[in-house]
């Protein structure tokens, strides 16, 4: 079975809010915020590793990311992926979801036939949850989102549980397919020091726009159908009335107010 | 036979499962009618399914100009590829300028695939929409970092697409019927399904759910650790309210994913909101649509959330919350 896993480096969500917004360039200053692999993408990789344990085959990791994130992305190789393709080019900068999906789809085509392409349901930074269904569309294969379980009886039919608003559905489909996973699907493994050393030996290729057969008008900022117009600061309420005194006094004042507004029940 | 041409430039996808429309579809119709009126456009509700005549009539009562219906047995259940096929065909034929969907599990799956097939732009999880007099759609989304909102456009390609979070816009009142129903081609083959649905499970909404709660106590990352989370739950229980969370407690596993309030979570309209250990990011605040009283408890007097609240308490939540519960007990005896 050949499995492709799409992973993206994101600012560590633990530091959320500590980035500073540069008002003139509309970009985030992330200098001091360490990056991690998007948490859900690790769940996607974990699922791939489990399938390979049962069926054998190859796991290729694909990431569109600056070359500087290579050391971070190697964690995927340490977890057990066989090799990695990193898509890095200035011309990719500013890509929206459709442009990102076009670039990744081109890379996937260059890797060759696959059975399963796994993604996270969404990233913690842009969080659009759009890239994976768009990759599926551009590759012309079926997809399911919000996937919380994958069962494969033989290598032909996948039985997939996918969350919907008020419950879930179980669907069957045949490879190739794109599945986007939620965190309920599994618990990603920890990497040992040995695995990290192993990962150092594995192949990580950097590809640029010249290495891919691209739909040229659809990459980068220029090729993105959506554009950022401006940023605005929403109107605020007048600043809150701050209650006075120590914790106990403030709590008492709040309790009084809540009682008077009818929020206390017998 | 050629289809009746749609006169509507603004299309809203009204999703249904088992003949029941998702409320967000109706909410969007209300907003779309307001937006379109200013520039003299007409609004069409797009309905896909099987034997949905009754629902089409119901939707017509919200004052839309057209209900654009694809009714076919192959559309009885949602299969993304089949729905994309029918919508692509209709959009190429009728050329709407704008196509809106709810940011539901269906809308966020269908929207991106459809946009990719049409090679057009889709703004995700929007919290507001503007339409300027040249027919350009501006989609408003919370912007990462800083307390700002971004406006996104789709200048070169059509239709301009957006998914919008449920609960942002008010439901329009059903009024007089003025529109018509037009039928579009809903034909799909088995081979268009992509997957075979084996079974579906639906759970009933439980009381205490965030959407219906009068009182919501929301815990943030400032709660610090799982062992402290009971402070949030104790206070909520004391006030007979529901427990919500910002994203970090969900990531940490202190709270469930369906308790998250904000852009990627739920939109809520409690009478009372109490936010505890929350800094006040736009991603979270956009989820609180309205509340009679908003209270924040934070140890940092400069926390951004205080600029969006009615009452502020400064201090360690581990001191304030137990005191508050004590004081409230005094009133409920
Ligand atoms: C695309 C996208 C979508 C998102 N969607 C959502 C969403 O739907 N909902 C959501 O909530 N977030 C969402 N986020 C995350 C959001 O940007 C913020 O990271 C998050 O809301 C911050 O949560 P917080 O305020 O609890 O944590 P923090 O920002 O870490 O704030 C913690 C606060 O607790 C205070 N504190 C610490 N200790 C104590 C104590 N002992 N007593 C009292 N106060 C204390 C601190 O002063 C601080 O202000 C999203 C982000 C992205 C990028
Ligand atoms: N730059 C990228 N490189 C590789 N995979 C990506 C990239 N961006 C998004 N993805 C994949 O698409 C999923 C959804 O991302 P998003 O649409 O940004 O929420 C992620 O969890 C990844 O699996």
The tokens describing A169, both together, are 């559905």
Q: Which tens digit of pLDDT belongs to each residue from A150-159?
A: 999 877 899 9
Contacts of B154 in chain A (CB under 8 A): 225-227
What architecture is domain B10-192? 3-Layer(aba) Sandwich (3.40)
Q: Do A231 and B326 touch (CB under 8 A)?
A: no
A50 has pLDDT over 90: yes
Q: Indicate yes or no: pTM above 0.90.
A: no
d(CA A28, CA A241): 32
Q: Confidence class of residue B212 from pLDDT cuts 50, 70 and 90?
A: confident
Provide the 8-state DSSP code for A175: S
Flag whether residue B190 sits within 8 Å of chain A, measured between CB atoms: no
Residue A30 has pLDDT above 60, yes or no: no
Q: Are B97 and B9 in contact (CB under 8 A)?
A: yes
Supply A8's token pair.
């993206």
Cα within 13 Å of Cα(A250), Cβ side: 23
How big is the CA angle at B279 (ends B231 and B314), to the nearest 5 degrees?
65
Instruction: Give residue B88 CA to ligand 1 midpoint distance, Å.
Output: 39
Q: Is the pLDDT of residue B146 over 70?
A: no
Q: What are phi and psi of A133, to 5 degrees?
A: -65, -25
pLDDT at B285: 92
Question: In order of start, what are the domains of chain A with their CATH numbers?
Answer: 2-211 (3.40.50.620)
Report pLDDT for B190: 85
Q: Is the shortest distance between the CB of B281 and ligand 1 below 6 Å?
A: yes
φ/ψ of B25, rounded to 5, equals -65, -40
B83 pLDDT exceeds 90? yes
Interface predicted TM-score of the whole assembly (ipTM), two decimals = 0.88
The rounded percent of chain B whose pLDDT value lies above 90 is 80
Residue ranges per structural domain of chain B: 10-192, 215-328
Q: What is the pLDDT of residues A67-90, one digit of tens each?
A: 999 999 999 999 999 999 999 999
Which architecture characterizes domain B215-328 according to CATH?
Answer: 3-Layer(aba) Sandwich (3.40)
Name the residue with tokens 């800094």: B279
Q: Which ligand is nearest to the CA of B125?
A: 1
The atom of ligand 2 lying closest to the CA of A127 is: 19
């Amino acid at each position: 079975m050949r499995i492709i896993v799409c992973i993206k480096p994101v600012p560590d969500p633990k530091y959320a809010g500590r980035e500073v917004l540069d008002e003139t360039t509309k970009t985030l200053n992330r200098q001091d915020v360490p990056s991690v692999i998007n948490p859900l993408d690790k769940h996607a990789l974990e699922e791939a590793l489990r399938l390979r344990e049962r069926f054998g085959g190859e796991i290729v990791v694909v990431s569109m990311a600056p070359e500087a994130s290579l050391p971070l992305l190697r964690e995927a190789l340490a977890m057990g992926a066989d090799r990695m393709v990193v898509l890095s080019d200035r011309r990719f900068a500013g890509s929206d979801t459709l442009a990102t999906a076009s670039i990744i789809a081109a890379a996937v085509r260059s890797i060759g036939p696959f059975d399963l392409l796994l993604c996270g349901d969404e990233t913690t930074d842009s969080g659009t949850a759009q890239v994976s269904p768009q990759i599926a569309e551009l590759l012309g294969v079926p997809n399911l989102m919000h996937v919380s379980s994958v069962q494969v009886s033989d290598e032909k039919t996948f039985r997939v549980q996918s969350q919907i608003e008020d419950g879930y559905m179980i669907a069957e489909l045949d490879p190739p397919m794109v599945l986007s996973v939620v965190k309920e699907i599994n618990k990603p493994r920890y990497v040992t020091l040995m695995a990290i050393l192993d990962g150092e030996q594995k192949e990580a290729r950097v590809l640029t726009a010249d290495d891919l057969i691209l739909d040229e008008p659809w990459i980068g900022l220029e090729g993105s159908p959506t554009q950022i117009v401006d940023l605005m600061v929403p109107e605020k309420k007048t600043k809150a009335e701050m209650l006075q005194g120590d914790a106990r006094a403030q709590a008492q004042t709040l309790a009084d107010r809540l009682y008077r507004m009818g929020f206390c029940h017998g | 036979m050629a289809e009746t041409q749609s006169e509507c430039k603004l299309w809203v996808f009204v999703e249904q499962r088992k003949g029941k429309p998702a409320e967000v579809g109706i909410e969007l119709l209300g907003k779309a009618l307001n937006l379109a009126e200013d520039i003299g456009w007409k609004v069409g509700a797009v309905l896909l399914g099987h034997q949905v005549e009754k629902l089409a009539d119901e939707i017509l009562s919200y004052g839309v100009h057209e209900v654009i219906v694809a009714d076919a047995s192959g559309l009885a259940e949602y299969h993304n590829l089949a729905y994309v096929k029918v919508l692509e065909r209709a959009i190429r034929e009728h050329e709407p300028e704008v196509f809106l969907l709810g940011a539901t599990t269906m809308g966020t799956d269908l929207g991106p695939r459809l946009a990719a097939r049409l090679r057009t732009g889709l703004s995700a999880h929007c919290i507001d929409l503007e339409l300027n007099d040249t027919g350009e759609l501006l989609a408003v989304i919370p912007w990462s970092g800083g307390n700002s909102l971004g406006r996104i456009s789709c200048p070169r390609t059509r239709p301009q697409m957006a998914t919008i979070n449920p609960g942002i816009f008010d439901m329009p009142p059903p009024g007089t019927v003025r529109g018509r129903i037009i039928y579009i081609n809903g034909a799909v083959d088995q081979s268009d399904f992509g997957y075979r649905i084996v079974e579906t499970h639906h759970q009933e909404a439980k009381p205490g759910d965030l959407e219906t709660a009068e009182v919501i106590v929301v815990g943030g990352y400032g709660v610090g650790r799982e062992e402290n989370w009971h402070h949030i739950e104790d206070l909520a229980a004391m006030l007979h309210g529901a427990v919500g969370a910002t994203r970090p407690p969900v990531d940490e596993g202190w709270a469930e994913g369906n308790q998250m309030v904000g852009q990627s979570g739920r939109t809520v309209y409690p009478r009372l909101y109490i936010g505890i250990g929350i800094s006040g990011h736009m991603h979270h605040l956009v989820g609180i649509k309205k509340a009679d009283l908003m209270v924040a408890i934070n140890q940092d007097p400069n926390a951004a959330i205080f600029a969006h609240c009615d009452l502020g308490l400064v201090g360690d939540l581990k001191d304030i919350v137990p005191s508050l519960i004590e004081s409230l007990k005094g009133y409920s005896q």
